[in-house]
A and B are shown apart, each in its own frame.
Chain A
Amino acid sequence: MPWDRNQMAERAAQELEDGMYVNLGIGIPTLVANYVGDKDITLQSENGMLGMGPFPYEGEEDPDLINAGKQTITELNRTAYFDSATSFGMIRGGKIAAAILGAMEVAENGDLANWMIPGKLVKGMGGAMDLVAGVGRVIVVMDHTNKHGDSKLLKECTLPLTGKGVVDRIITNLGVLDVVEGGLKIVETAEGVTEEELRTATQATIV
């Protein structure tokens, strides 16, 4: 059985080590926070916060306290606030150990596309280009194929790039792959998924 969203998030949480400062993207990456367990992880929200807490209880929402997805959130006893230039200074400066992000396409050389589809409504890249260029490690969490069944792990991205050669590891519903010299390397497969099934679902070169 391929992993479901929560199992992918749980697997991605294993990438995080005690003491890390981490930025989580929108969607499945947000769920990773549910699986960090006892590890001491500090979440960054790029609109200007380290130490992001859970959603507030009803009636306790604060319009001055939101995450990068513009959702109301809470602070923790470790929280620090700062301005946007400082926030991206720590991102660009390589102080954030890892970013876990969703993607539309990843290429075998680590190219990432997740911000625009030509001909469709373009909303903007937000902080994604800064994150993938700056953080220590970029981990993509996404479905292995799109809704037509086509591989999202490609020899070359077809969509406009968010970053060139930036992805380190890809966690899909079928397994885990690393970007290495010459292509992608299978790290593990989801329980019940064979290496053959993963290869068949992948357009990118597997080395």
Chain B
Amino acid sequence: MQKIYPNAAEALDGLLFDGMFIAAGGFGLCGIPELLLDAIKDAGTKDLTFASNNAGVDDFGIGILLQTRQVKKMISSYVGENAEFMRQYLSGELELEFNPQGTLAERMRAGGCGIPGFYTKTGVGTVIADGKEHKDFNGETYILEEGIFADLAIVKAWKADETGNLIFRKTARNFNPPAAMCGKTCVVEVEEIVAKGELDPDHIHLPGIYVHRIIQGAHEKRIEQRTTRKREDA
């Protein structure tokens, strides 16, 4: 089966439709599927719901789809870095569902594992628990959270082999594996596609069974908060 596509637009061909639910990897601007987001912008698909930890910044990441009003709803844990997001949210143009970060990650992982719901202590006694089933286990109270089953997952990895086995790099792994797992279809963008046999099978982070389409491309990989120390501090 051929998983490699020439570019992002062709890799998304036939997968996009208005009103769809997309799970996206990335934390802040680190490890985001920037090429696929650009292609979704160009495709003009509307009324999108995104499960993504963050919403990018105004001109990068999911932010570019906010500018074009393609996003109807965000499911995120933190959206602080995006002025256009806040404007649309406060004016009621954009729906927002806050999920605690670990709950969002586990909802994706669970969905990908065929688990429609799980109980967690996170958020008990807060607004997050409002309207959710509560259940006690061993004297402690937990709330029911639901697995995420997305129409499409868009993910960024470092390397893929031709069969879709993936390796991520450093903290750019973040939400990418759970996002990949919860999509009916998963499209991955990588910095390098290598031949079968070139990745050590013991070092695969996400097996190719979760990956349906792959593209290779040049990434901007923008840094959100450049922080350094001076040499003399050493």
Residues of A bordering B, CB below 8 Å? 45-49, 54-58, 60-67, 69-73, 75, 81-85, 87-89, 91-92, 111, 121-130, 133-134, 160-165
Contacts and interface: CB of A to CB of B under 8 A. Distances in A.
B203 interface: no
Contacts of A83: 105, 168, 173-178, 205
Nearest to A46: B101
Contacts of A81: 168, 170-171, 173
Contacts of B222: 63
B224 A66 contact: yes
Interface stretch (B4-12, B14-22, B74-82, B210-218): B74-82
For A64, A125, A127, which residue has the most chain B Cβ atoms within 10 angstroms? A64
B101 to A, nearest CB: 4
Contacts of B127: 160-161
Contact of A85 (B27, B31, B105): B105
A85 B79 contact: no
- The DSSP consensus for interface residues of chain B is loop
Given A125-B128, A129-B126, 19 more contacts: A47-B30, A55-B229, A56-B228, A61-B226, A63-B221, A63-B222, A70-B29, A71-B227, A83-B175, A123-B78, A124-B79, A125-B101, A126-B77, A127-B101, A129-B123, A130-B122, A133-B121, A133-B122, A134-B121
Contact of B31 (A61, A64, A72, A122): A64
A72 B77 contact: no
Contacts of A46: 101-102
B91 interface: no
22 contacts: A46-B101, A46-B102, A57-B234, A63-B223, A70-B30, A70-B224, A72-B226, A72-B227, A81-B170, A83-B168, A83-B173, A84-B178, A88-B102, A88-B105, A92-B106, A124-B77, A126-B101, A128-B100, A129-B100, A133-B121, A160-B126, A164-B126
Given A84-B174, A85-B106, A121 B28 contact: no
A124 B103 contact: no
Nearest to B156: A64
Interface residues of B, number: 57
For A69, A70, A162, which residue has the most chain B Cβ atoms within 10 angstroms? A70
Given A72-B225, A85-B109, A85-B177, A48 B27 contact: yes
Contact of B105 (A63, A84, A164): A84
Contact of A58 (B101, B173, B228): B228
For A49, A84, A87, which residue has the most chain B Cβ atoms within 10 angstroms? A84
For B28, B108, B234, which residue has the most chain A Cβ atoms within 10 angstroms? B28
Contacts of A63: 29-30, 172, 221-223
Interface string B82-109: 0000100000000000101111111011
Contacts of A111: 125
B175 A127 contact: no
A63 B229 CA distance: 16
B21 to A, nearest CB: 19
Given A84-B27, A160-B126, A160-B127, A125 B105 contact: no
Interface in B25-83: 27-31, 53, 76-81
Given A125-B98, A130-B100, A61 B223 contact: yes
A80 to B, nearest CB: 11
B171 A133 contact: no
Contacts of A91: 102
